[in-house]
Structure 1
Amino acid sequence: MRPRLLVSLLVWIGLAFPAVWLGAAAQSLLGEDKKMIAAVRQFYGQAGAQRTQAWRLLVHQAQTENLVERELLSRVNIFFNRLRFIDDIALWGKQDYWATPLEFLGVGGGDCEDFSVAKYVTLRELGIADEKLRLVYVKALTLNQFHMVVAYYPYPQAVPLILDNLEGSLRLASERHDLAPIYSFNGQHLWLMQEKGKGQLAGQSSRLSLWNDVRGRIDIERLQKPKMNLDH
């Protein structure tokens, strides 16, 4: 295991290790990342700051390695699936609230939309094209409840891989008989789903008010670093 990856994992689970070791890893972070971590520490405490630092180390490491997209998907899925599932009512006092990645990491948990938004934003930051990604609203048949996952299309007509907080490994949509797709969206478009395919184009994703809201708050959080354009 690479040292920086090991450090990020140790930070995540809160094990004790020499401060000089962690400091050496943290030196690889950009000043903007350090400001982000400091802001999370102020609002959510040290544990939230450590989770945020682990996220930024993950992104930095992935950006410096020549990784295939499948490996990026796997790392991001594993990283965020360590967080706890917490219902919006219990966490935010609202029936439906989509948290930003910093809010999600700060409190250490969230619901399926929060897992999916954090994965999508991170994969976009790592350079995966928007047209390859969808946030998919589904019916989780086993649980008999609505749910959200991320779908990755390596090419336009491919059966997508699914990133899901209910499932530890990446699996093809055709293997997920427990999920019934309803609609999907990304930074630009909204689709009504048809079976396991990409679905019928139904307009712009800006029609989704909760998606617009969380994207706006992500932009506000990142005013001090170059904005990641989720539209293109």
Structure 2
Amino acid sequence: MKKLFALFSVALILSGTPEFNLAKPFLDKIEKEYGIYAKRRAVALVQMMNEARELDEISKLEKVNDFFNQTPYASDKSVWGTSDYWATRLEFIGKDKGDCEDFVIAKFFTLKELGVPSSKLYMTYAKSLRYNAAHLVLTYYETPKSTPLVLDNYNYKIFPATQRRDLIPIYSFRGDELFKAKQAQIGKIIPASTRQERQWDELVITQRKE
């Protein structure tokens, strides 16, 4: 698996009027590692991104949120055999299940590739009053002073934070500060396997001319 991950560094290539694309060698590797259905999910992701690329930012949020919220929730223990594992987007698509951190990471990288500025995207730790548990959501700020919109895997619809009375925000950090947050042990303990050089998004999605 480590050899596969080493090949999946982020690559975003722009040329003319671009469309998103997954190269066949990477699709073949996904199929070999996770199976044919994982390959189909990766293709579906690219199709969704091509449908969303010309949309306004709010519509992109809705497309991406709806796509990943089709994935079943599962604890890290049941998927990875450990109490805390932050999966990459490739791993999340490959396993077709994950916990709240996995949803947030996948949504963040997809929106970033769709052109939503990372400065508008924050990962927000909160307490879920409904489940009486720590929770992670992705929040979007149209402007620095805007009320953030909440992208969540508990509530599938996107609402302003002021309407999410079931969540008590605790701490927010920029998506680009993901590893720094893990180093600081925000929310959960960092697994021993985590290293600074780990690539959080190992799924290569390029752009090419139509």
User: Smaller-chain TM-score range?
Assistant: 0.7 to 0.9
TM-score (norm 2): 0.78
**Is the 8 Å Cα contact of residues 150 and 159 (structure 2) preserved in structure 1?**
yes
Matched, 1:39 2:29: yes
Distance 1:213 1:101, change over 3 A: farther
Give the structure-1-normalised TM-score: 0.71
* In 1: Cα distance, 2:132 partner to 2:148 partner: 23
Unaligned runs of 5+ in 2: 1-18, 184-189
Say if 2:177 is the partner of 1:208. Answer: no
The 8 Å contact of residues 33 and 56 in structure 1, kept in 2 or not, is answered as no
* SS in structure 2 at match of 1:218: coil
Q: Is the 8 A contact 2:122 2:173 kept in 1?
A: yes
Q: Distance in 2 between matches of 1:108 and 1:70?
A: 25
The match for 2:112 is 124
Higher relative contact order (CA 8 A, sep 6+): 2
1:152 aligns with 2:111: no
Give 5+ residue unaligned stretches, structure 1: 1-27, 191-204, 227-232
Distance 1:60 1:216, change over 3 A: farther
Structure 2 partner of 1:218: 200
Q: Is the 8 A contact 2:100 2:136 kept in 1?
A: yes
Matches of 1:37 and 1:96, distance apart in 2: 28
Per the TM alignment, residue 35 of structure 1 is displaced from its structure 2 partner at its CA by 3.1
The root-mean-square deviation of aligned C-alpha atoms, in Å, is 2.5
Alignment correspondent of 1:49: 39
Deviations 1:52-108 (A, max 9, x none): 110111112322x3x110100000000000000011001001110011111101111
Post-superposition CA distance 1:185-232 (Å, at most 9, x none): 124459xxxxxxxxxxxxxx624235975982335554x959xxxxxx
Determine what percentage of the aligned residue pairs are the same residue. Answer: 38
Tell me the CA shift for residue 130 of structure 1: 1.1
Greater C-alpha Rg: 1
Give the number of equivalent residue pairs. Answer: 181
Indicate the SS of the match to 1:183. Answer: strand
